[in-house]
Chains A and B, each alone.
Chain A
Amino acid sequence: MKILICISNVPDTTTKIKFVNNNTTFDKSGVQWIINPWDELALTRVLDLKDAQAGIESVTVMNVGLADAEPTIRKALAIGADKAIRINADPVDSFQVASLLADAIKKDPYDIVLCGIESCDYNGASVGGMLAELLDMPSVSAISFLNIAGGKVELKREIDGGQESIEIATPFVGIVQKGIAKDPRIPNMRGIMMAKTKPLQVLEPSAANTLTSVGSFDLPKAKAACKKIDPDNVKELVRLLHYEAKLI
């Protein structure tokens, strides 16, 4: 079974977000980049299954990004992916990412294609669904459990108020959320050394359209300072919630 995990190169979740060029561009200076956490969890689960001899022949990661994404891609190799592909483009929107991924995947198909449910930069939460449509493949969203045994693929997905267990034939696109693995893997020394020698193929992008353009970004308003009220003073709490917060 050949498995592909699409990985995004995103700012570390503790990054202080700033915009430049009249709030139209994210300021990348001084930012530390990481594998999108949902993608990393998907990769971790697949590698655990590969280690458990679940019949996985190869694990590939694919990223749409410029050369500055390579340290992040190398980390995926250090964690244990067998090979990596970088589509050499600076994508503008989710549709462009999905199109570029789809064009590359069509030329070299996989049994399972996994994406994180969203990326923690622009949080579009749309690449997975678009990718399945462009590949004309079935997709399963919000996967919180994946098992492969005896060639059978079992999934669980979160639904309102419960969980749905699914058995699915390959190929398919899986859109993964947290729960699929507990913690992302920490690369070991051997993995870090081997990452240098594993293949990282660079593909030139196909001619993919963009469907959107950004008008401007706005930062959320700064949170007001916390007000502490004595636990015995319920009247004051009610007064503040009513007159100041206007919540009740």
Chain B
Amino acid sequence: MNFEFTEEQKMIQQAAKDFAERELLHDIIERDAKSIFPADRIKKLAELGFLGMMTDPKYDGGGMDTISYVLAMEEISKIDSSTAVVMSVCNSLVNWGLENFGTEAQKEKYLKPLARGEKIGAFLLSEPEAGSDATSQRTTAEDMGDYYLVNGTKNWITNANCASTYLVIAQTHPDKKHKGINALIVDKDTPGITLGPHEDKMGMRSSDTHSVMFTDVKVPKENRIGDDGFGFTFAMKTLDGGRIGIASQALGIASGAFERALKYSRERKAFGTEIFNHQAIAFKLADMAVKIENARNLCLKAAWLKDQHQPYGVMSAMAKQYCADIAMEVTTEAVQIHGGYGYVREYHVERLMREAKLTQIYEGTSEVQKIVISRSLLK
């Protein structure tokens, strides 16, 4: 067992930290308040290679391991989760899905520009009535011989507007239930695709979230990923890895809030001394530190298993559930330590608390993760 990071991993961690502090911090409060998507910063992040950092260099990616990805995600999320989620969707869901299950022609046409960061991807699974129960897809992909005709609505789609490439999960054979589902690569500018208004969210307000409506959208047959009916398996396998991204995002939200609370506790005085010297505050910080250390170790274990090509689905569910839940706890305590200052925007921790809440909900709620974990205990 070796807990040391490599030189490259440390360099990536530092690069992500430098990027977040230099490029994202200065206007995050305004972007959050006004729901402004940081298109210019996403372009820079793409130029640095972060959006395709795990994709094989033969498909123009960075070829980095999942450990590096966790480290980078944590650093970006400490400051701006709305940017981190773009990174997560591109790396863990879209690029990984295409790299592992796409044909060579699909990789050439779609994966390469995504891995280079020239294009952004989105993963369209959730529906108004199919969130945690992803088997109940209402969006249909009717087999018309040489193309699929897609109709339906997808909800809560991250990158919906900025993406060029959609991976759409839709039902082709309703009688076969989840075994009739397909995953299709759809160009966003295909006729028949319309976007709902930008979602006015509680947190991660700077991320680009819309519903997406499909009306008689024609998708060529060659854009199907895998065999007919592979779509549900594709989505579940992809989400196994996606959880590592969101777990590290939650970890970053927690550690970002912790760092701010620790700093504040050493500056703010009450009853004649820095509040860190009061046991009530010091013990809170100790509890937060332990939770964050546990969370980080779970993320890294899941990432390590993935890098070793060992089964990682259960570990990534554990990481996702634990990191999201402690992110909520740690950010709540960070607000408490800041007192009144924690409740105003200037001190960032209230935003981190709002962001933490989403990590318990999206890419599989904490409850869904517990289904995955508990079912594994019975095997």
Q: Which residues of A are at the interface with B, using a C-beta cutoff of 8 A? A: 70-71, 74-75, 78, 183, 186-190, 192-193, 195-196
Contact = CB atoms under 8 A, between A and B. Distances in A.
Contacts of B48: 186-189
Interface in B1-53: 7-8, 10-12, 14-15, 18-19, 22, 47-50, 52-53
13 contacts: A187-B11, A188-B15, A188-B48, A189-B48, A189-B52, A189-B63, A189-B64, A190-B49, A192-B62, A193-B8, A193-B62, A193-B64, A195-B11
A154 to B, nearest CB: 28
Contact of A186 (B7, B15, B57, B63): B15
Nearest to A184: B18
A75 B62 CA distance: 16
Contact of B7 (A74, A183, A190): A74
Contacts of A193: 8, 57, 62-64
For B48, B50, B53, the residue with the greatest tally of chain A CB atoms inside 10 Å of its CB is B48
Contact of A74 (B11, B12, B18, B63): B11
A75 B8 contact: no
A188 B47 CA distance: 7
A186 B18 CA distance: 7
A189 B63 CA distance: 8
A66 B50 CA distance: 32
B62 to A, nearest CB: 3
Nearest to B53: A189
Nearest to A34: B14
User: What 3 A-B pairs have minimum CB-CB distances, sorted nearest first?
Assistant: A189-B49, A189-B62, A188-B48
Chain A interface SS verdict (over half): helix
Given A75-B14, A192-B12, 5 more contacts: A71-B7, A74-B11, A183-B22, A188-B47, A189-B52
B11 A75 contact: yes
Contacts of B14: 75
A76 to B, nearest CB: 11
A68 to B, nearest CB: 12
Contacts of B15: 186-188, 192
A71 B11 CA distance: 8
B341 to A, nearest CB: 17
Query: How big is the B interface, by class?
Result: 20 to 34
A196 B57 CA distance: 15
B10 A186 contact: no
A193 B65 CA distance: 11
Nearest to B50: A189
Contacts of A189: 12, 48-50, 52-53, 61-64
B72 to A, nearest CB: 10
Contacts of B19: 186
B18 A78 contact: no
Contacts of B50: 189
Contacts of B47: 188
A188 B50 CA distance: 8
B8 A192 contact: yes
Contacts of A196: 7-8
Contacts of B22: 183, 186
A172 B50 CA distance: 38
A196 B7 CA distance: 9
Interface in B238-296: none
Contacts of A70: 7
Contacts of B18: 186
A71 B6 CA distance: 10
Nearest to A183: B22
A123 to B, nearest CB: 23
Contacts of A190: 49, 62
A187 B18 CA distance: 10
A192 B16 CA distance: 12
A187 B13 CA distance: 11
A187 B63 CA distance: 15
Nearest to B52: A189
A195 B11 CA distance: 10
A189 to B, nearest CB: 3
For A71, A183, A187, the residue with the greatest tally of chain B CB atoms inside 10 Å of its CB is A187
Interface in B61-76: 61-64
B59 to A, nearest CB: 13
Nearest to B10: A71
Interface string B290-332: 0000000000000000000000000000000000000000000
Contacts of A192: 8, 11-12, 15, 62, 64
Nearest to B6: A196
A207 to B, nearest CB: 32
A196 B61 CA distance: 17
Contacts of A71: 7, 10-11
Nearest to A75: B11
A188 B49 contact: yes
A78 B11 contact: yes
A78 B18 CA distance: 14
Nearest to A193: B63
Contacts of A188: 15, 47-49
Contacts of A187: 11, 15, 48
For B15, B18, B62, the residue with the greatest tally of chain A CB atoms inside 10 Å of its CB is B15
